[in-house]
Structure formats: structure tokens, C-alpha cells
Amino acid sequence: MEGLLLFPFAQYWGFYLGFTGLVLFLLLLDLGFFHREAHEVSFKEASIWTVVWISLALLFGVGLYGYALWDLPQETRLTSIPGFQAEDAAWQVFLEYLTGLVVEKSLAVDNIFIFVVVFNFFAIPPRYQHRVLFYGILGALVFRALFIAAGSVLMQYKIIVIVFGAFLILTGIKILFAPEKPIDPERNPLIRLLKRFLPVTPAIEGQRFFLRRDGRLYATPLFIALAFIEISDIIFAVDSVPAIFAITKEPLIVYTSNVFAILGLRAMYFLLAGVVHRFRMLKYGLGLILVFVGLKMVWLNELYGGKFPIGWSLGIIAALLAGSIALSLIVTRGEKGAPGH
């Protein structure tokens, strides 16, 4: 079934629409009910929300498996293929979704490092950080959808697959061996360009991103922090979207696993912000994951007749992630929490 999509957009646009509607409902419920008033998110609250988002992501995966098991046997374009087994295809769908979710969750940890730097740099009080992240993640969902739509078209061409695979390998090698550079939002050219055309207030003005003074529009530091987070996510999407297309060619799986990985990012930030400095070895695990998925795109899939076994992919990625986390905790054992958290 190489090159044949199980969930072509023309047939499953209603599924996309319903899923997107569910996500928007969850986001509105989050901001309009649970976080209507600005407050500092406690470790307990972050833990609860982390469990909620991960549980929802896994529950959706089980639901996707059940849906595929029910729907695929009715597809004459599939059942007419000799040897097609709906049970095997549904299990493949579930494993690809789960592997994609693990990849996106692991790569999303890089975003948490950015959040910590940005909030400290702009002195964003903890009670306003959730609001900035809410709109940052809302924007990230829009940009990811655009990247995925473009990727679903580009990834049909083998030369593009090879180019992106090579890019992921080089990015992974760079993460492994290149020295880390400190992040300075003030030196970002887009932030400097933004400040040139839009005056910024010197202090935080409550939850507001903009305000008017003497008839002139001003941005607040909250908006500048939000803009930097959005720019950072666009940069990270250049890595993460091709990486998940190395796991699956199904845009529906790419989209849903990306969305659930992003939705849980805020809770993960508030859960890990105080100890993120302890994940010192995680970058090596992420670098090796990118090298592995790049190799899948340029070599391993062809070596295994067009599709590297998804169960092996999940095991290798999970082992690299768990190993780098465990090694980080061993190396940094006894270190105290980050200042200010």
C-alpha cells in the first residue's frame, strides 16, 4: 500500500473539521473557564493538567484505532487490495500516532527551554505566563497546520523526502556536537524590526498585549514575549514537522499527534520550568532522534521495502528519550531548582 493514504483529505475532511472543533472547544474551555482569572500556576495544578492532556492524547489514540478498525473494512479501494487486513492497518495507525506523539512531545521540550529564557528575560510575572503561552500555542497550532498542509504535498516527491531527511541528520549532528549559544531575544532581527515600528511600554500593563496612550498604540512586554515564542515555534516546526513525516505519511496522524503534543505544552512548562536545567543530556537524545528519523527518510525505509517497522521506530525513539532523561537526572543529581522558580 506504499503511496496509498488510508485517510485522504477529500474523504475525511469532516473528521478534520470535527477534530479542529473539539480542539477549539477545549481551548475556549481552558481560557474562559479554568483560567479566566490570571494566577500563578502551581506545581499541583500543572501536574493535574499534564495528566489530563496526556490522558486525552492517549484516549484519542485508542479512539483513532477503534475508528480505523470500524471504517477501513468498508473502504472498497482498500479491501480490493490483495492481502489487506483492516486489523493490521488499524494497529499500524495507532502505533504511528503514538510514535508521532512521542517524537513531538520530546522535541517540544526545546520549546520549554525557550519559554524559561523568554519569561526571565522580559520579567514576565508567573501569573501572566499562562496567558502568553495560551495565545502562543494557539498561534503554533495555526502555523503547524500550514506546515503540515505544505508537507503533505511536498512529501509526495522522493527528492524532497531525501532533502528533508538529510536536513534532519545534519540538524541532529549539529545538536550533538555544536556548542550551545545563549539566547538573546533583544538581538533577534524580527523582534528588533517589530520594536522599530511599534513602541513598547517599559513595564507590564496587567494582562494586556496592547494599549493606547495619547491616541498612540503601544505593545507591552507581554506581546514582545509572545512574538518571540511564536517565531521560535516556527523555527522548531522546520525540524518537527519533517520528523513526524518520517514516521507516517498520513497527514491526519501528523496533524492530530502534533496538536495533542502542543496542547499539553503549557502544563509541561509549568511542571518542568523549575527543573529544566537538570535535563542537561536531553539534547543528545533529541539529536540522536533527529538523526534516526532522518536516516529513516533517506535510507532505512528503502532498506525495509518502503517502510521501516513502526514498532522498532517507537522502541528506538522511546529508548533514546528515556536514556537521555535518566542520564540527565544522574549527572545533575543533588542540584537545586533553577533560581526564580
Is 189 inside any structural domain? yes
Question: 99-109 in b/e burial notation, b at 16+ Cβ within 10 A?
Answer: bbbbbbbbbbb
Is 337 inside any structural domain? no
**Percent of the chain as helix, strand, coil, to the nearest 5:** 75, 5, 25
pLDDT on residue 341: 45
Is 2 inside any structural domain? no
Radius of gyration for the alpha carbons in the chain, expressed in angstroms and rounded? 21
Maximal C-alpha separation, the chain: 73
Range of the domain at 40: 12-331
pLDDT on residue 339: 47
Q: How far apart are CA 307 and CA 312, in angstroms?
A: 11
CB atoms within 10 A of CB 192: 11
Is 273 inside any structural domain? yes
Is 284 inside any structural domain? yes
Is 5 inside any structural domain? no
Name the 3-class secondary structure at 320.
Answer: helix
Is 7 inside any structural domain? no
CB atoms within 10 A of CB 222: 24
pLDDT on residue 168: 93
Is 319 inside any structural domain? yes
Residue 231 CB-density burial (10 A; 0-12 exposed, 13-18 middle, 19+ buried): middle
Question: 178 with 300: CB under 8 angstroms?
Answer: no
Question: 234-260 in b/e burial notation, b at 16+ Cβ within 10 A?
Answer: eebbebbbbbbbbbbbbbbbbbbbbbb
**DSSP code per residue over 152-180:** HHHTTSHHHHHHHHHHHHHHHHHHHHSPP
The strand pairing partners of 210, in sequence order, are 219
Report the number of distinct structural domains present in the chain: 1
Q: Which candidate, 286, 293, 287, places its Cα nearest to that of 312? A: 293
Mean pLDDT, contiguous 10-residue spans, the chain (341 residues): 78 92 86 70 87 94 94 84 86 95 86 86 87 88 91 89 93 88 76 84 86 87 90 85 90 94 88 82 92 92 85 93 92 65 45
pLDDT on residue 164: 92
